[in-house]
Amino acid sequence: MSPTGTQSPRYSRILGTGSFLPADRVTNQDLAQRLAADGIETSDEWIVERTGIRARHFAVPEQASSDLALPASQAALEAAGIAAEELDLIIVATSTPDMVFPSTACLLQKKLGVHGCAAFDVQAVCSGFVYALSVADAMIKSGAANKALVVGAEVFSRILDFKDRTTCVLFGDGAGAVVLGASAEPGILATELHADARHTDILCTPGTVAGGQVVGSPFLKMDGQAVFKLAVGVLEKVARSVLEKAGKTDADIDWLIPHQANIRIMQGTAKKLKMDLNKLIVTVDEHGNTSAASVPLALDAAVRSGRVQRGDLVMLEGVGGGFTWGAALLNY
Ligand code: ACO
């Protein structure tokens, strides 16, 4: 409370970031060789020209999303200078959970060696991290939580059809995490989330488990051109909307960190926002598309390399299956 008795504003702010990539780094050449063994043709040139991807990391069969989430979370906690016991909320964004239930967030809580705090998963595919961050921000602002761990963790290699060259070259595995804390100073300034389920079919993994069997297809399917067209339009629109909510303009953005799916979508978005391309954080070249993990992985890379500094205005953007999209504008 302020001296006048009015409630002082309460914000959420990123206290620390972390990330983790599994050890197996697979270059385009490596992948082309592996696919050639099954008679599938692709090349480094095709993948780089159409997507900007040069390599991705794949988890080993024993590594589940929570195993990638754990070291990413530990790094974020260390950077934030807080102990796991201080967390009162864990949210994991994933479309490749360890199991049907318990949630990956509960399994992560166990691996962190703590208990009692709220823990749940958010499923919004490649928009998952922005969705999870927005939920955590709202819970902190409302007073429902004080310190939150927000993670994006994926093992997309498990749902790739390695006989479909139009999708299997695009994705990778990894995890990124942030610790959010309540603050009197504004951190997250504005967020906005959207979904349009008229487009469920353009990007989906339409299988489930029933009666001990996989029913439907357990593999990712995508109409790449339809996704491409939708993505560029919604990413510009939602960015402009959160800028307006926060009373900022595109000229104020220090760093743009969009979902790392395809360099052409990312550069197209930056150009529409009239941004210099050197303010665009790019990790898709080294990570591929890691779905919900891509934004926090890119944020952590940008923080640890010294590009994103305290006080910088950062635009995070997600877009993916559902069709879902969203943005978060924050003072780092
Ligand atoms: N290697 C070599 N050739 C290929 C490959 C490959 N891996 N994949 C497709 N081709 C061929 C096709 O068969 C086709 O050949 P044809 O002309 O003889 O029929 C040709 O390349 C062109 O195929 P298109 O599908 O038209 O290629 P396009 O230029 O659209 O690029 C791509 C495909 C990269 C998928 C593009 O559409 C794209 O980036 N879309 C957005 C996808 C995306 O970002 N998805 C993720 C967002 S949401 C999320 O993250 C879940």
Distances (CA, A) of 66 to 12, 75, 98: 25, 14, 7
> Is 28 a catalytic site residue?
no
Number of neighbouring beta carbons within 10 Å of residue 81: 10
> Is 126 a catalytic site residue?
yes
Options 57, 259, 262, 331, the catalytic residue:
259
State the distance from the centre of ligand 1 to the C-alpha of 224, rounded, in angstroms: 6
Give the length of the chain: 332
State the distance from the centre of ligand 1 to the C-alpha of 160, rounded, in angstroms: 15
Q: How far apart are CA 285 and CA 287, in angstroms?
A: 6
CATH of 11-183, picked from 3.40.190.10, 3.90.1150.10, 3.40.47.10, 3.40.50.10860, is 3.40.47.10
Ligand 1 pocket, mutate which of 40, 125, 202, 227 (most atoms under 8 A from CB): 227
Ordered by start, the domain boundaries in the chain are 11-183, 188-331
**Which two structure tokens, joined as six digits, stand for 319?**
């877009």
Per-residue pLDDT of the chain (332 residues; tens, 9 = 90+): 445 556 778 999 999 999 999 999 999 999 999 999 999 999 999 999 999 999 999 999 999 999 999 999 999 999 999 999 999 999 999 999 999 999 999 999 999 999 999 999 999 999 999 999 999 999 999 999 999 999 999 999 999 999 999 999 999 999 999 999 999 999 999 999 999 999 999 999 999 999 999 999 999 999 999 999 999 999 999 999 999 999 999 999 999 999 999 999 999 999 999 999 999 999 999 999 999 999 999 999 999 999 999 999 999 999 999 999 999 999 99
Q: What is the topology classification, in CATH, of domain 188-331?
A: Peroxisomal Thiolase; Chain A, domain 1 (3.40.47)
Same fold, 11-183 and 188-331: yes
pTM: 0.96
Residue nearest (by alpha carbon) to ligand 1 atom 29: 50
Q: Judge residue 38's burial from the number of C-beta atoms within 10 Å of its C-beta, 0-12 exposed, 13-18 middle, 19 or more buried.
A: exposed
**Which two structure tokens, joined as six digits, stand for 256?**
């743009």
